[in-house]
Amino acid sequence: MLQIRDGVLQVLAWQRARPPDPGRWALPGGLLGDDEDVATSVRRQLAEKVDVREVAHVEQLAVFSAPHRVPGVRRIATAFLGLVPSDADPAVPADTAWHPVDALPDPAFDHAEIVEAARDRLRAKLSYTNLGFALAPREFTISTLREHYAAALGHPVSATNLQRVLARRAVLEPTGALAPPGPAGGRPAALFRFAEPTLRVTDAFAVLRPPGEHARPAVP
């Protein structure tokens, strides 16, 4: 579960009380039930940690199956990436907290590797899909969105170019409203929202397109 908090990409983890790996931080998860598939199971596990209605996107990452990745009984994990918009502040249990993804202290088992996979996937999909909808608040200025993208991608992002890229792909739509300027003044920023609340690939193939598509498909 990832979220932008205080301008930093953070991951939700809980501190293990009992062996194995006591005191270390683990990702939320649990056993697969007999009557559920892994996606359903993830939703159920999350419900124990946060309000699931605040989770904007969930997707499968990969299977982690090294024979002794967890001491004791063999466990095979199907890792997921979950995203919470930055304007949500879900209540979490006492043993659970958010940590910057770059500095998850003392990760349990192979969970550092899983966080790495999640970060990579997020970075990639921000580039070629509208996945930003799952990180951004409901309404936002381009400035705010720029900060979110920069935090998630790990490098500076230009507000000018971000604006244009997302506009060309019809990913954003203006709400019509304006955000009031800060105490130092400045032009009021226009508010935007994501046009669609679900994942859409906006930049399918950079090369080797089918003939007749000189550029990306036009907006219908």
Please report, as ranges, the residues that interact with a second copy according to CB under 8 A: 32, 34-39, 60, 62-63, 65-67, 74, 76, 78, 124, 126-128, 149, 153, 155-158, 161-162, 165, 203, 205-208, 210-211
Q: Which one of DNA, a second copy, none is in contact with 36 (Cβ closer than 5 to 8 A by kind)?
A: a second copy
In the complex, minimum distance from the CB of residue 9 to a second copy, in angstroms, rounded to a whole number: 15
Cα separation, 95 vs 76, in Å, equals 24
In the complex, minimum distance from the CB of residue 46 to DNA, in angstroms, rounded to a whole number: 33
Residue 142 — φ and ψ, nearest 5°? -60, -35
Of 94 and 208, CB closest to DNA? 208
In the complex, minimum distance from the CB of residue 137 to DNA, in angstroms, rounded to a whole number: 14
In the complex, minimum distance from the CB of residue 218 to DNA, in angstroms, rounded to a whole number: 8
Cα separation, 191 vs 162, in Å, equals 15
Of 34 and 187, CB closest to a second copy? 34
Of 91 and 206, CB closest to a second copy? 206
Of 90 and 132, CB closest to DNA? 132
* Three-state SS annotation for 178-198: EECCECCECCCEEEEEECCCC
CB 108 within 8 Å of CB 24: yes
Contacts of 182 (CB under 8 A, 6+ apart): none
